[in-house]
Structures are given as structure tokens and as C-alpha cells.
Structure 1
Amino acid sequence: MRALEKLGLFKQQVTLLNPEPLGLRINVFIQVSLEKQVEDALLRFEQAISERPEVMECYLMTGDADYLLRVVMPDMQTLERFIVDHLTKIPGISNIRSSFALKQVRYKTALPLPSSGLTLADPDDVATDWR
């Protein structure tokens, strides 16, 4: 671990909490499509989503939807309020589709590092805007 730290590979250190005892029982995956995939629309959406604490992950995607969000919620009423009061208010959204996780089969945060040692990427090829 110290060697990884010296190489500057730590993004941050956190403690992972169990969401269920905290009342966060619902994992929802939300696909969002935008009217236009232009830079200002993408940035506006990303800024708005970055301010929402219930959004655990947000990915810019290829395929049918422009973004995939993972949000955690205590109940359906809170999800409805999030969608109606926040998500639908973001300018430029054309479609919202939600899917509920029935069961978490696997969740991990450890990266699949090779057991034979690390080979670091060229720093010029690595994105530095970790979010």
C-alpha cells in the first residue's frame, strides 16, 4: 500500500458504509437521454447531477441513452420527488428511464491489479479530472 501511495495512485481513501441500516434501501439505475449531445448541454447536465448527493455514479454512455446514473433512495416517494423536482427540471432532457436493482449480486471497489506487478500508463494518456 505504501508503494502505491508513493506512486501517487490513491485517488482518495474512504470508509464504505452499509446503506441499508441508514435507510437507503433502493438502488435505481436511471438512463437519461438529452435533446442534443452538444458540449454546453452535456456540461449543464453534468454540473446539475454533480450537485445531487443521492447520485452515487454518473456515466456518459454510448448507445440508447446519453447518461447512466446510479442513485440510492430510502423509498419510492423520495425517488419520485428526485425525478419530478430535480431531474425533470434540468434543461435539455428528452427521456428518463428507471430500472430498479432487485438484488446486489456483486459490488467491489478493488481494481483488478495484476499479481505479477504494476505497469503504469503513460501520464500523457491518463485523464486527470477524476470526479
Structure 2
Amino acid sequence: MTGFELTDQDRRILALLQRDGRISNQDLAERTAMSTSACWRRVKALEEAGIIARYVALVDARRAGMAFHAIVLVKLSRHSRDHVVNFIAEVQRREEVLDCFATTGESDYHLRVLCPDLDAYNDFLDNFLFGLPGVANVHTNMVLKQIKHETAVSFG
């Protein structure tokens, strides 16, 4: 993204698209005081620069039957290149893992994991996570209640 300078109009476009990814180009142009062609070109430039990474539908996990939500802290026994590369590749393949962060502190990685229920989570642990080479310790923090969840990046 180097060299791409966000303008105030870009920020307005991004804010509107984050609220409603299905907004028409015409409505987006009207709300940003741009012509439809200029707005379309700006959105395309934001996509090509990787600032707009993708368009998605936000799903209510509980209503979709995914009731078990946890933050999982993982510590590796060694930080050999092979263990780290393997861990990252395997975690990226798992649909249960919504987010994976390499972190500082006592744990090396924080995972946000979503499963239908506790049995499915135990299966994820037993048949996947515990079997990964280099995994020394796994600590599960079960999410009791979601207080705040945002996907939009704020521009002030």
C-alpha cells in the first residue's frame, strides 16, 4: 500500500462501504458528493491498492448455530522455523479459527475459535491443536458474552 494517500473522500467512501457493502455506486457517489464515474474509479483504486480487501456478509454466529466461542492462547515449545511455519500453515487451513494473532507476552499466539458446541471444540483440540508439532501449552478462555464487536476501521 505504500504510496497510496487516502483523501477525505476516500475516507467517506470507506466509512459508507463498511456500513453497507451493498450500497450502489450511484448512492455512494451522491453521499460523497462525487460523480458516479469518479466514485467508481476511486473505489477501484482502493481495491487495487488493497485498502478494500474484500466484501463480505456479517453473520450472527449464534443464530447460525455456532454457540461455542473461545479465545485460545497457544505457546510453542520451540520457535524453530519449521514449527512456526507449520503452525501458521495448519491454523490458516482450519475453518474454526477466525483470527490468529502472533503476540507478545506469555503466549505466542492468540486464536479466536468458533465451533457449534463444546464437543466440536474438544474435537478441534484433541484431533488438531494438541497434535501440532511444537505446541507446548494451550489455554482456553471461553467467551461468555460478546460486549463489543466491530469490523469497521474508524477514520476519526
Tell me the CA shift for residue 4 of structure 1. 4.8
In the alignment, what sits opposite 1:87? 129
Larger Rg computed on CA atoms: 2
Written as runs of structure 1 = structure 2, the 5 A alignment for 1:26-41 is 26-41=68-83
2:109 and 2:56 map into 1 onto residues whose CA distance is: 25
Aligned pair 1:44/2:86, yes or no?
Answer: yes
2:138 partner letter: I
2:93 partner letter: E
Tell me the CA shift for residue 5 of structure 1. 4.2
2:132 partner letter: I
Q: Kindly provide the CA deviation profile for residues 37-79 of structure 1, in whole angstroms up to 9, marking residues without a partner as x.
A: 1222111100011110010000111100010000011111111
* 1:43 alignment partner, SS class: helix
1:53 and 1:84 map into 2 onto residues whose CA distance is: 16
In the alignment, what sits opposite 2:45? 6
Greater relative contact order structure (CA < 8 Å, 6+ sep): 1
Q: Kindly provide the CA deviation profile for residues 84-119 of structure 1, in whole angstroms up to 9, marking residues without a partner as x.
A: 0111111110000000111100001100213xxxxx
Tell me the CA shift for residue 25 of structure 1. 1.1
| Structure 2 runs not aligned, ≥5 long | 1-12, 14-38
In the alignment, what sits opposite 2:98? 56
Q: Aligned residue pairs: how many?
A: 114
2:43 and 2:139 map into 1 onto residues whose CA distance is: 40
Structure with a larger share of its residues in helix: 2
Aligned pair 1:98/2:140, yes or no?
Answer: yes
2:123 and 2:44 map into 1 onto residues whose CA distance is: 41
2:91 and 2:69 map into 1 onto residues whose CA distance is: 16
1:100 partner letter: M
4+ residue runs over 3 A deviation? 2-5
- Say which of 85, 102, 113 aligns to 1:71: 113
